[in-house]
Structure 1
C-alpha cells in the first residue's frame, strides 16, 4: 500500500533511527542531507507545511463553472471511505467526512441539473458498499430514486473509472465527476483513461489558512493532511507510469481541518 510509506511522521522517525545508528560511519555531506530532509519532514507535520502542500494539489482541481458546454447528463460521485461498519444501508453516520462532503456536493449539483443521472461508485471492506449508503443518503436528501444508480465493486480510483465505464446500460461519456478537491486531479486522469470526458465538480477542499501561533507547530492532523496530499501526488504519478493501477488503496482523509 503506497500511502503506508508517505507519512512525514513515520518517515521522520525511520530517518532519525537510521541516522542515529549509522552516525559514526556517515560522511559529513550525508549528515547534512539527512538533517535537511528531517527538517522538511518536520515542517510537513505543521499546519503551515501541510496546508501549503494541500493548496498546491487542490489548486489543480478545476472549478465546476469551468466546464464548457454541452452540460453533462450524469453525475458520478466517488466514495471516500467509511468511518466504521454500517449497521444498515441507511446508516449514514458510518460514512466518513470525505464521503459525506462528496454526497452533499453531488446532491447540490443535482439540484442544478435535476434531469441528470446520479451514480455513486465504490465498494467497502464491509458487507454493505459505501456507494449503496451514499445513494440512500442522496435519496433521503431529495434525489429521485429513478435517477439513482450504484456501482458497488470497485476498491480504488482506477477501478472506480473502469467499473463505471462498464455499467449497463452505459453512461454517456461526458459526466460530472464529484470527489474531493485533493483527489480530483488523479480521479480526472483515471476517468479520462477509461474513455470519459469528465467535468470536475470538486467538493469543498480541506485547505485552512493561518490561525494563530499553533499553525506553525507540529500536530497529528497536519501530518495526516500531508500524508493524504503526498499519496495523491504519488498515486497520480503511478497511474501515469502505469503502476499500481490495480493495487493502490485510497487513504482516509485527514481528521483535522487545520
Structure 2
C-alpha cells in the first residue's frame, strides 16, 4: 500500500508537475532545447489537468470506457455484485450509514434500485474493514440497502477484501458460490479496472456503471487550477495505472496493489 500511495503521488498533476519543475531547474544548463520544450509541454499538461476543464475531460474519457448497462444481453443476471467505495470517517457502529462516502452511497442507491426492479435478485456487497476502523464498508452498505427496501434475506456481504482485486477473489470464493454471470455495480470511473479483476477470476460481468463524475465546462474559472480538479485527475490516473497493473497480473500473475 505505501508503494501505491507513492505511485499516486507521482501520477498526480501536482506531484509530477513539481518533480518535473525541479528536474528542469536542476538540469537547466545541460538540457537540450528539445528537452526543454518537451518539459514545458508536460508542465502545461499538468497545469491543464489541475484545472476543472482538463480534469473533467480526463474523467469523461475514462468513464466512457465503461460499457453501458443496456449492453448486457438478455436474460439479465440474477445476482448484483456491489463494490464498496470507501468511507469518509470511522463508523460508530454497523448502522452508521452516515460514515459512507459519496461513492459508496451512490453505488448502493443504484444497486438497490437494480435489485428491487427484479424480485428474487440477490445482492452481494464486497468491501472489508479500513485500517483503524471496526466495521466493514460492506456492512454499512448493507445497512443502507436495507433502509432502501432491499429484503435482508436477499443480501450477502463479504468483509475480507481491501482492494478491487481482492473484491473479485473473495466474491468468487463465497459459499454458496455466486453465478458466473453477474451485474457488477461500481462507479463508472472504476468500472474498467473492476471488469479486468472480475473477468480474471472467471466471472462474466455485465457492467452497471453509476456515480458518473465528469462535468461540462461552465465558466472561465474552470480554466484555473483547483484542489477538486487535482483530486479528480489523480483518481482517473490511479484507475488507468491500476488497470494496466491488473491486466499485467491477469496475464502474468505478478503481484499488484489496489
RMSD over aligned Cα, in angstroms? 1.4
Partner of 2:257: 248
Q: Taking structure 1 as reference, are residues 237 and 80 closer, same or farther at Cα in structure 2, changes over 3 Å only?
A: same
Aligned to 1:196: 203
Q: Secondary structure at the match of 1:178?
A: strand
Q: Work out whether residues 81 and 98 of structure 1, in 8 Å CA contact, stay in contact via their aligned partners in 2.
A: yes
Q: Distance in 1 between matches of 2:193 and 2:185?
A: 12
Structure 2: unaligned runs, 5 residues or longer: none
CA distance in 1, matches of 2:13, 2:87: 24
Contact 2:142 2:157 in 1 (8 A): yes
Distance 1:11 1:167 in 2: 41
User: 5 Å matches for 1:21-60?
Assistant: 21-60=26-65
- 1:209-220 paired onto structure 2 within 5 Å: 209-220=216-227
Question: Matches of residues 14-163 of structure 1 in structure 2 within 5 Å?
Answer: 14-123=19-128, 124-125=130-131, 126-163=133-170
Any idea what SS the aligned residue of 1:135 has? helix
SS in 2 for 1:150: strand
- Return the alpha-carbon distance in structure 2 between the equivalents of residues 244 and 207 of structure 1: 33
- CA distance 1:244–1:12, change in 2 (3 Å): farther
Shift of 1:149: 0.6
Report SS of the residue matched to 1:72: coil
> Is this contact kept in 1: 2:186–2:210, CA < 8 A?
yes
TM-superposition CA deviations, 1:145-182 (whole Å, max 9, x none): 10011110111111100100000010111111000000
CA separation in 2, counterparts of 1:61 and 1:245? 25
Give TM-score scaled by structure 2 length: 0.93
Runs (4+) of structure 1 exceeding 3 A deviation are 243-247
Aligned match of 1:221 in 205, 210, 228?
Answer: 228
Cα distance in 1, alignment partners of residues 170 and 9 from structure 2: 25
Could you say what secondary structure the match of 1:198 adopts? strand
Deviation at residue 246 of structure 1 after TM alignment: 5.0
Residues paired across the two proteins, number: 249
CA distance in 1, matches of 2:253, 2:244: 10
Q: Which TM-score applies when normalising by structure 1?
A: 0.93
Alpha carbons of structure 1 residues 15 and 183: separation in structure 2 relative to 1, 3 Å = same
Q: Is the 8 A contact 1:110 1:143 kept in 2?
A: yes
Structure 1 residue 248, shift from structure 2 partner: 2.1
1:174 aligns with 2:181: yes
Which stretch of structure 1 is more off in the superposition, 119-128 or 50-59?
119-128
User: What's the CA shift for 1:74?
Assistant: 0.6
Q: Distance in 2 between matches of 1:232 and 1:131?
A: 21
Structure 1 unaligned regions, length at least 5 = 250-258
- Per the alignment, residue 187 of structure 1 pairs with 194
Pair 132,215 (structure 1): closer, same or farther in 2 beyond 3 Å: same
